[in-house]
Structure formats: C-alpha cells, structure tokens
C-alpha cells in the first residue's frame, strides 16, 4: 500500500498543471480551453487518467 508521501509528486504535478492552464488562459484569451489543456497534457507529460480528469472537469 502506498503512503501519502508516494502520492505527493503527482499531486504537485497536477497543481502545477492547473496553475499553468489558468495562467495561459489569462495570457492568451484567443486560445480555447481545449487547446490549452491539450498543450498542458504534452508539456507536463500527463498520464491518460490525468488527461481524462482535465478533459472531464475543465474542458467545457
């Protein structure tokens, strides 16, 4: 069983990803959310589960 410390790097990665998405949307209002999320998925090397989470909760 994994401890809370084992989960921390993933949590930090998602925090950084969400922060980057928010900042990018503010800096580039001409980009769509879907475009920015797709770029974040590549930039932060997200897992399929993390990508699904972003698309499900933040794409619309």
pLDDT digits (tens, 9 = 90+) for 8-49: 567 899 999 999 999 999 999 999 999 999 999 999 999 999
Q: How many whole angstroms separate alpha carbon 32 and alpha carbon 49?
A: 21
Mean pLDDT of 55-59: 91
The tally of domains found in the chain comes to: 1
Residue 2 within any structural domain of the chain: no
Q: Domain residues for 53?
A: 13-58
**pLDDT given for residue 2 in this prediction:** 47
Reduce the DSSP state of residue 46 to 3 states and report it.
coil
Residue 37 belongs to a domain = yes
Quick check: is 33 in a domain? yes
What is the C-alpha to C-alpha distance for residues 53 and 44, in angstroms, rounded to an integer?
A: 14
pLDDT of residue 3: 46
- Separation in Å, CA 18 to CA 2, 4, 41, 55: 24, 21, 11, 12
In a domain, 4, yes or no: no
């Amino acid at each position: 069983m994994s401890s809370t410390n084992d989960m921390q790097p993933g949590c930090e990665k998602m925090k950084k990803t969400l922060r980057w998405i928010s900042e990018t949307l503010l800096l580039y209002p001409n980009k769509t959310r879907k475009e920015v999320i797709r770029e974040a998925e590549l930039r932060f090397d997200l897992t399929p589960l993390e990508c699904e989470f972003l698309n499900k909760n933040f794409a619309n």
